[in-house]
Amino acid sequence: MTHICSKPILIGPSILNADLSQLAVVCDNLLNSGADYLHLDVMDGHFVPNITIGHPVVASLKKHLPCKAFLDLHMMVSDPEKWIENMKAAGASQYTFHFESSKDVMHCIQKIREADMKVGLGVKPKTPVTEVLPYVDLVDMVLIMTVEPGFGGQKFMADMLPKVRYLREKYTNLDIEVDGGVTLKNIRDCVEVNLLN
């Protein structure tokens, strides 16, 4: 018998490839079309080679969007601790930083909690998921990268799905986010890996 985990499946589209001149319209359209939340990729050109948006854009979007809009910031940045206060002030709902980017993961988690945001912990493809286990009970969500972070439009890495399965079996109530290359062709695989046997 197969049971679905107690967590509902949510869709949080990334706006990474959106036309920046139309960003507010794109976000409105996504939310009005049924998106559960918005995934905003923040890149600093150091942790990953690309540069995207910062807190001024997040603040502008937050002013434009409905109050209830949940903004999940995926912080692909070096030294994620230094961005926390500005992103909180800008209106971030969840602050997802990479395990690999922080010199002190516990301190970063604590600072995010003190800023009254939800905490997400990202895991790059080459990082064994077992390395983040000491922190899983301290965060709200674990983000499993199914592409190398830094650029949109990459091919989905299905060989990362066992990480999701492993976490789901150990932590039935954990929010697990699959990020990168998700399309209509592979979204079913992402959902099915969240089923518990």
Quickly list DSSP for 85-100: HHHHHHT-SEEEEEGG
Binding residues for substrate: 14, 74, 150-153, 181
Mean pLDDT confidence for 112-135: 97
| Pairwise CA distance, residues 148 & 159, whole Å | 13
In 129-196, which ranges are E strands?
141-145, 175-179, 195-196
Amino acid at 25: V
Q: Is 7 helix (H, G, I), strand (E, B) or coil?
A: coil
Structural domain boundaries in the chain: 3-196
Do the Cβ atoms of 109 and 139 come closer than 8 Å? yes
Percent of the chain with pLDDT over 70: 94
Return d(Cα 163, Cα 154) in angstroms, integer: 19
pLDDT category of residue 153 using cuts at 50, 70 and 90: confident
Sign of torsion over alpha carbons 23, 155, 175, 126: negative
Catalytic residue, candidates 19, 28, 36, 41? 41
Contact predicate 119/109, CB 8 Å = yes
Fold of the CATH domain 3-196: TIM Barrel (3.20.20)
- CA quadruple 117, 128, 167, 138: dihedral sign: negative
Binding residues for a divalent metal cation: 39, 41, 74, 179
Instruction: Give the length of the chain.
Output: 197
CB 118 within 8 A of CB 140: yes
Catalytic residue flag (residue 41): yes
The reported pLDDT for the residue numbered 154 is: 79
Tens-digit pLDDT profile for residues 42-72: 999 999 999 999 999 999 999 999 889 999 9
Q: Find the catalytic residue in 116, 137, 179, 189.
A: 179
In this structure, the strands spanning 175-179 and 94-98 are: unpaired
- Continuous segment of H or E residues that includes residue 109: helix 105-114
Active site residue 116: no
| Predicted confidence band of residue 136 (pLDDT cuts 50, 70, 90) | very high
This prediction has a pTM of 0.91
